[in-house]
Structure 1
């Protein structure tokens, strides 16, 4: 069978496209999403929906609340664990969930904050009052660029000072499953 010039060109382009598509697997972030339910209903800052994304450049945690307020007493902590052989997380980012506050990423050991002080690297907290959402983003370099990590979340509302309300994602000190960075898209 004799191939025409047009057919040879089409076959060559198809082969090149197939080679490119099969040699480069699309990388995307591994994501964990869940509903937390109304388990801390005495607080306006009860975690309801959580989405954690472990990308190739950053870790992003998006938490939806039923009624996030600019004035309040609630504090949110994102615990990050990258070493399954050590007890507890290696890092935590704690942020008040109200206006005029500051946040910090710190090192942890056995669920306690180390005395090193805040880590100097790129991380942010964005409190979106009108959408009732808190978004935490941490560069993976801050965490030593782990291939996998898992996350635990806690909200603590000190609304009356004597009866704090605590809301963990899942059970107390329970982590998500391990999330790989830049997993191939399904």
Structure 2
């Protein structure tokens, strides 16, 4: 009798301690990680400082975008706050250079005697020391800024630089559109940040190179989280992202794995007139379309939630568990397509058991 009671108590304890199978879960995604946006993405900058000239060469990638501005700031005096010279140009527009003081263009009488900050009008004594090679025939990369050292203009035994870009749209002389907001990049990152100081060396010395890291990009199709709910009757998936602008649209693909192998079994397409359910044919949108009573939609203008809900049986065979992989693509432009995967390319969420 005592043995029976002890075994029964132990069994009850085990059953009580067993975890319940979850039927819903939500996972966050890394923010600002959209890829494929044709902004002016800086990748590296090299600085060379000799007795004759300061040479700044930087590289970028922009997917053929010919819209935007690029600016280089040169800091040549460690004792004074901010840069001493600004050099910039707009893609397919005029370049300029201007002396600076305390982070602002120096418009003092003394500065105007040496520099003309406008690309038009009479040149001043220091204007001829600056040369911009934008390499516009090579998609504006690499760009080289050369500042010849001249007494009374720019002379320094040490120099550091900051490079920045800004663009509010895309243009390749055939198609164009607007982003709805200015997308910026800066090398190095950080408010009022500069590269390390580069000392004056011989002409044979190598340039000092600084590489840019990953950029933080805000875009409406940036996935913030994915929530999955699986019951005996229905599967529901909600994807939260940034607010969709009225002038932009896209496609969200939700891949479903119902048997635990590496490849998807079904794919749900959201962003068309009506959600589409297909048997997956690898990681594509191909495959046989399935007639299924599915309810769902792409987030409306100004909204942040794209979702669907569908019967788990018979559409999906009433699976014991499901895991999802989600990719959001902005399809507004026929030329470029910003894309974001939850968790990384072709990454599955943990499995959610049927509740």
Task: Decide: shared fold, TM above 0.5.
Answer: yes
Aligned to 2:87: 93
Match in the other structure for 1:102: 94
Q: What does 1:1-186 correspond to in 2, within 5 Å?
A: 42-67=37-62, 69=64, 71-72=66-67, 74-96=68-90, 98-99=91-92, 101-115=93-107, 116=112, 117-118=116-117, 119-128=126-135, 129-130=137-138, 132-141=141-150, 143-159=153-169, 160=178, 162-170=180-188, 171-182=190-201, 185=205
TM-fit CA distance, 1:92: 0.8
Report if aligned partners of 2:130, 2:148 keep a CA contact under 8 Å in 1: yes
Stretch of structure 1 that moved more, 123-132 or 39-48: 39-48
How many Å separate the matches in 1 of 2:77 and 2:71?
19
| Structure with the higher fraction of residues in helix conformation | 1
CA change 1:80–1:41 in 2 (3 A) is farther
Structure 2: distance between partners of 1:107 and 1:179:
20
* Residues 25-58 of structure 1, C-alpha deviations (whole Å, 9 max, x = no match): xxxxxxxxxxxxx999634311112111112211
Asked which structure has the greater RCO (Cα within 8 Å, sep 6+), the reply is 1
How has the CA–CA distance of structure 1 residues 157 and 70 changed in structure 2, closer, same or farther, with 3 Å as cutoff? Answer: closer
Report the CA distance shift for 1:42/1:138 in structure 2 as closer, same or farther (over 3 A): same
Instruction: Call closer, same or farther: CA 1:61–1:144 in 2, change over 3 Å.
Output: closer
Give 1:143 deviation, angstroms: 4.2
> Shift in Å at residue 91 of structure 1?
1.0
Paired with 2:184 and 2:61, the residues of 1 have a C-alpha distance of 15
Instruction: For 1:176 and 1:153, locate their aligned partners in 2 and report how far apart those are by CA, in whole Å.
Output: 9
Q: Give the unaligned 5+ runs of structure 1.
A: 1-37
Superposed displacement of residue 144, structure 1: 3.2
* Residue 88 to residue 69, structure 1, CA distance change in 2 (3 Å): same
| Counterpart Cα distance in 1 of 2:183 and 2:72 | 17
- In structure 2, what is the Cα distance between the partners aligned to 1:75 and 1:168? 12
* Equivalent in the alignment of 2:272: none
Q: Alpha-carbon deviation of 1:168?
A: 0.9
Instruction: Give the number of equivalent residue pairs.
Output: 146
Quickly say closer, same or farther: Cα 1:178–1:137, change in 2 above 3 A.
same
Could you list the runs of 5+ residues in structure 2 that have no partner in the other structure? 1-32, 118-125, 170-177, 207-355
Distance 1:133 1:94, change over 3 A: same
| Residues 91, 143 of structure 1: 8 Å contact kept | no
After TM superposition, give the deviation of residue 135 of structure 1 in Å: 1.3
TM-score if structure 2 supplies the norm length?
A: 0.37
